[in-house]
């Protein structure tokens, strides 16, 4: 692969010649030492360089790779985990991955398959003797050497998520580390407790892939593959008969039922070097169907794209020290970490050309309600880079914008508030920001409702300023510092004390246009953000950890109208939608969850859904009817789940690289793409309806240089508005 404009000329004294590959965490280059020796140089992406946990994991990767360097691994030559961009150089191994070999030439014949199995088992035996667990053995992490005398020899690469037995560096909270469908069941449900048995499970899955061209738990997408891994039986019918019982033992659900890597090596070495004619192959066993039951193991997570204040609330919650009040920025459906291997192959599960659906393809597209057919007078497609020259700005440093029918409203470090004309994208008016330096000042995404815009005060006091959305007239203001604010139930709800106040929270409600105080009340709660939208001018208040369960409150008077007892346990209230509460249960003090609860706030009845893996729920889902729509930031995919039946409906292909939270408008789902186009999807099947043309030129920039958007597309009449790293834009709706 050729070098790109921003690639380094050298790293650690090694001259960079070309790219070997790229993935979610870094880039691998072919480099040369001063003496001419070829090395593979792995360099992490800039955006991870300041993450202490990532640096700790990278140090662990280097230590693990050095610890197991031997006949079946690529030895570490040099490394600098403390560099501005941490890097590691290993001996360059000429060859291709097992994934490439099978993709290009088909499944392996018996002699090559037997050799692969014995050498992989021997490699794992040596890795385990060094007290290291690889945890991500898969076809793209197995290199087959090329060249005289070495053709077909095995090297195991990428110890990016390995763990030494004596290491105290934990997997990032909530991250399921690995690559379905080559992961063991316990990696989904107990990721902090994995041992050498997970590598044996992966070895069995890799050998099935090498022999058949598919994994034993093949499915249309990563989520269903994980379900099959935890609950289904492996497809082994195409394996050579003599190997089948051994592989079945490797793929046992319980770690204790699997052989050790040494036992696998002995069993494979005992098999004949040539197969006899009496080795029949059975018909493949079909993958089990997911039962349509009320309680089912399924991934769950998502975003609530329609409320501008949610991401702000998410970031504030993320800073909370109480594990029960964790953040809501990401709710990873399957947090499959793409750690780059020596070949640059990312740890991505099943990738298809089109969105995968469990819905019959014959089902017609969801009917669409005719739109108003309107656009602002004189409107034409436009884009505005907001002074960045169209370059993607680091997350949190650029302007924070909210699109609305009256325009796009943005706040930045320099401008308290500005409005872009919805027809042209030109700046209508701006409100200057005080130049006074204030410790702890943060930006707030503007909240726009009913012709009024609310932002943090221009005086930098962390108060609230309310403006007329059309004219920019300052309507009223509150001096700070204040904890946070949101528009709920027809009122502006303001937290009057800091978010970390123990045991209670003081709230006041204000008339949005006049600033008249409607009520003031202290809520006994342990939640830093306890209020949610309710029906008919009401609110729901999360009073757990304080005076009770979930209370329904009149938004205009602050009076409690009714209450229900919340489910017991250390549960996180993810969101409330249509009088239904969605909770997740924490596992001990890990901050991850494998149990989910859905409660009717009228009757108080609760039902439970189990996950087949542990997740860290950090953002509310976008709920429409009985379906949750989830933007998985980590994998840049969109997932739809039927909560009523507990069934995954469909998942977008990772090839699409979904790049924003989703929105639901007029019978369609909309998401922004990396090239700044907007994609429309059928919400029932995930099938692409169409997409707009890109608004910014992103040519020459890799995905790693761009940032997913926290703001979903907005449809107003026949016009779409989008917010991306390069800026904001407006385009005609997909026809």
What CATH code is carried by the domain that includes residue 174? Answer: 1.10.510.10
**Contact predicate 305/661, CB 8 Å:** yes
pLDDT tens digits for range 100-117: 999 999 999 999 999 999
Regarding whether 79 and 112 lie in a shared domain, the answer is no
pLDDT at 388 (0 to 100): 66
Strand order across the 142-145 sheet: 95-97, 142-145, 154-156
Mean pLDDT of 259-266: 95
pLDDT at 120 (0 to 100): 94
Share of the chain above pLDDT 70, in %: 73
Share of the chain above pLDDT 90, in %: 40
Q: How many Cβ atoms from other residues are within 10 Å of residue 30's Cβ? A: 18
What CATH code is carried by the domain that includes residue 46? Answer: 3.30.200.20
Lowest mean pLDDT among 194-203, 344-353, 394-403, 543-552: 344-353
Mean pLDDT of 289-293: 31
**Contact predicate 720/670, CB 8 Å:** yes
**Contact predicate 593/572, CB 8 Å:** yes
Supply the Cα-derived Rg of the chain in whole angstroms.
27
Indicate whether 613 pLDDT > 70.
no
Binned at pLDDT 50, 70 and 90, residue 619 comes out as low
Rounded to the nearest 5 degrees, what angle is found at the Cα of 301, between the Cα atoms of 615 and 293? 95
Does 167 reside within a domain?
yes
pTM of the model: 0.59
Does 707 reside within a domain?
no
Regarding whether 133 and 261 lie in a shared domain, the answer is yes
Binned at pLDDT 50, 70 and 90, residue 166 comes out as very low
Regarding whether 240 and 181 lie in a shared domain, the answer is yes
**Contact predicate 219/350, CB 8 Å:** yes
Distance, CA of 543 to CA of 527 (rounded, Å): 8
Regarding whether 129 and 15 lie in a shared domain, the answer is no
pLDDT tens digits for range 413-463: 889 999 999 999 999 999 999 988 766 677 788 999 999 999 999 999 889
Q: What is the DSSP string of 415-473?
A: EEEEEE-TTT--EEEEEEPP----TT----PPEEETTEEEEE-TTSSS-EEEEETTT--
Between 631 and 520, the higher pLDDT residue: 520
Distance, CA of 500 to CA of 486 (rounded, Å): 17
Structural domain boundaries, residue 108? 97-269
pLDDT at 458 (0 to 100): 93
Regarding whether 102 and 248 lie in a shared domain, the answer is yes
Regarding whether 196 and 85 lie in a shared domain, the answer is no
Q: Report strand pairing: 95-97 vs 719-724.
A: unpaired
Kindly report whether the peptide bond that precedes residue 437 is cis, defined as omega within 30 degrees of 0: no
- SS3 of 70-111: CCCECCEEEEECCCCCCEEEEECCCEEEHHHHHHHHCCCCHH
Does 678 reside within a domain?
no
Does 265 reside within a domain?
yes
Q: How far is CA 650 from CA 178, 296, 429, 684, in A?
A: 21, 16, 44, 8
Does 351 reside within a domain?
no
Regarding whether 142 and 242 lie in a shared domain, the answer is yes
Distance, CA of 500 to CA of 232 (rounded, Å): 45
Regarding whether 180 and 68 lie in a shared domain, the answer is no
pLDDT at 102 (0 to 100): 93
Regarding whether 219 and 142 lie in a shared domain, the answer is yes
Indicate whether 14 pLDDT > 70.
yes
Regarding whether 63 and 192 lie in a shared domain, the answer is no
Does 164 reside within a domain?
yes
pLDDT at 497 (0 to 100): 87
pLDDT at 373 (0 to 100): 59
Domain's final residue, options 90, 121, 138: 90
Binned at pLDDT 50, 70 and 90, residue 363 comes out as very low
Mean pLDDT of 569-577: 83
Does 215 reside within a domain?
yes
Indicate whether 235 pLDDT > 80.
yes
Binned at pLDDT 50, 70 and 90, residue 508 comes out as very high
Indicate whether 137 pLDDT > 60.
yes
Indicate whether 396 pLDDT > 60.
no
Domain's final residue, options 90, 124, 150: 90
Residue 627 phi/psi, 5° resolution? Answer: -120, 140
Indicate whether 376 pLDDT > 50.
yes
Binned at pLDDT 50, 70 and 90, residue 370 comes out as very low
Mean pLDDT of 122-133: 88
Kindly report whether the peptide bond that precedes residue 181 is cis, defined as omega within 30 degrees of 0: yes
Q: Average pLDDT of the chain?
A: 77
Does 102 reside within a domain?
yes
- What domain count does the chain have? 2
pLDDT tens digits for range 668-677: 999 999 889 9
Indicate whether 558 pLDDT > 80.
yes
Regarding whether 33 and 131 lie in a shared domain, the answer is no
Distance, CA of 222 to CA of 336 (rounded, Å): 9
Regarding whether 252 and 132 lie in a shared domain, the answer is yes
Q: How far is CA 548 from CA 564, 576, 617, 734, in A?
A: 8, 17, 23, 47
**Contact predicate 529/543, CB 8 Å:** no
Between 216 and 192, the higher pLDDT residue: 216
Indicate whether 341 pLDDT > 60.
no
Indicate whether 55 pLDDT > 90.
no
pLDDT at 359 (0 to 100): 36
Domain's final residue, options 45, 74, 90: 90
């Amino acid at each position: 692969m050729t070098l790109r404009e921003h690639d380094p000329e050298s790293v650690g004294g090694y001259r960079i010649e070309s790219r070997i590959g790229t993935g979610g965490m870094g880039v691998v280059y072919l480099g040369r030492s001063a003496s001419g020796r070829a090395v593979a140089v792995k360099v992490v992406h800039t955006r991870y360089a300041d993450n202490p946990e990532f640096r700790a994991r990278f140090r662990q990767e280097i230590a693990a790779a050095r610890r197991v360097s031997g006949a079946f691994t690529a030895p570490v030559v040099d490394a600098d985990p403390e560099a501005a961009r941490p890097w590691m150089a290993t001996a360059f191994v000429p060859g291709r991955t097992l994934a490439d070999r099978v993709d290009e030439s088909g499944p392996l014949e018996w002699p090559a398959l037997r050799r692969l199995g014995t050498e992989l088992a021997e490699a794992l035996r040596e890795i385990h003797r060094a007290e290291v667990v690889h945890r991500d053995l898969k076809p793209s992490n197995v290199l087959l050497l090329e060249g005289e005398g070495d053709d077909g020899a095995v090297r195991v690469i990428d110890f990016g998520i390995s763990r030494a037995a004596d290491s105290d560096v934990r997997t990032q909270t909530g991250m399921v580390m690995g690559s379905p469908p080559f992961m063991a069941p316990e990696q989904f449900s107990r990721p902090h407790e994995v041992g050498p048995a997970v590598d044996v499970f992966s070895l069995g899955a890799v050998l099935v892939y090498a022999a058949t061209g598919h994994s034993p738990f093949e499915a249309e997408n990563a989520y269903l593959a994980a379900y099959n891994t935890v609950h289904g039986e492996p497809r082994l019918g195409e394996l050579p008969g003599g190997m089948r019982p051994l592989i079945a033992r490797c793929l046992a659900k319980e770690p204790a039922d699997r052989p050790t890597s040494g036992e696998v090596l002995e069993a494979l070495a005992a098999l004949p070097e040539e197969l006899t004619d009496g080795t029949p192959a059975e018909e493949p066993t079909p993958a089990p169907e997911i039962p349509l039951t009320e309680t089912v193991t399924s991934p769950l997570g998502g975003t609530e794209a329609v409320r501008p204040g949610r991401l702000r609330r998410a970031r504030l919650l993320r800073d909370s020290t109480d594990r029960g009040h964790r953040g809501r920025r990401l709710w990873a459906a399957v947090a499959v970490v793409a750690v780059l291997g020596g070949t640059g192959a990312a740890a991505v599960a099943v990738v298809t050309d089109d969105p995968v659906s469990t819905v019959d393809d014959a089902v017609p597209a969801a009917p669409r309600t005719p739109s108003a057919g309107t656009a602002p007078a004189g409107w034409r497609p436009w884009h505005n880079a907001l002074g960045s020259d169209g370059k993607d700005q680091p997350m949190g440093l650029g302007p924070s914008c909210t699109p609305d029918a009256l325009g796009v409203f943005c706040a930045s470090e320099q401008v308290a508030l500005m409005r872009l004309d919805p027809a042209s994208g030109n700046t209508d008016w701006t409100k200057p920001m005080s130049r006074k330096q204030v410790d702890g000042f943060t930006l707030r995404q503007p909240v726009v409702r009913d012709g009024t815009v609310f932002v943090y005060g221009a005086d930098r006091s962390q108060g609230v300023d309310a403006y007329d959305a059309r004219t920019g007239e300052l309507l009223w203001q509150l001096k700070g510092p204040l904890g946070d604010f949101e528009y709920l139930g027809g009122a502006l709800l303001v937290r009057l004390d800091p978010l970390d106040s123990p045991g209670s929270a003081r709230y006041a409600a204000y008339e949005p246009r006049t600033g008249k105080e409607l009520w003031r009340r202290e809520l006994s709660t342990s939640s830093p953000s306890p209020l949610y939208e309710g029906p008919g001018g009401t609110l729901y208040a999360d009073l757990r950890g304080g005076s009770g369960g979930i209370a329904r409150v009149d938004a205009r008077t602050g009076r409690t109208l009714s209450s229900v007892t919340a489910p017991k346990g250390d549960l996180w209230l993810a969101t409330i939608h249509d009088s239904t509460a969605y909770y997740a249960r924490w596992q001990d003090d890990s901050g991850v969850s494998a149990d989910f609860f859905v409660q009717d706030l009228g009757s108080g009845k609760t039902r439970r859904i189990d996950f087949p893996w542990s997740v860290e729920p950090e953002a509310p889902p976008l709920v429409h009817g009985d379906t949750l729509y989830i933007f998985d930031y980590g994998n840049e995919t969109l997932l739809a789940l039927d909560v009523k039946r507990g069934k995954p409906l469909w998942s977008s292909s990772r090839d699409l690289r979904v790049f924003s939270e989703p929105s639901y408008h007029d019978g369609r789902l909309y998401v922004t793409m990396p090239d700044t186009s907007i994609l429309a999807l059928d919400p029932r099947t995930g099938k692409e309806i169409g997409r707009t043309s890109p608004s910014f030129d992103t040519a020459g920039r890799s995905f790693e240089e761009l940032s997913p958007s926290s703001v979903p597309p907005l449809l107003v009449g026949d016009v779409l508005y989008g917010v991306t790293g390069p800026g904001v834009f407006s385009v005609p709706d997909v026809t």
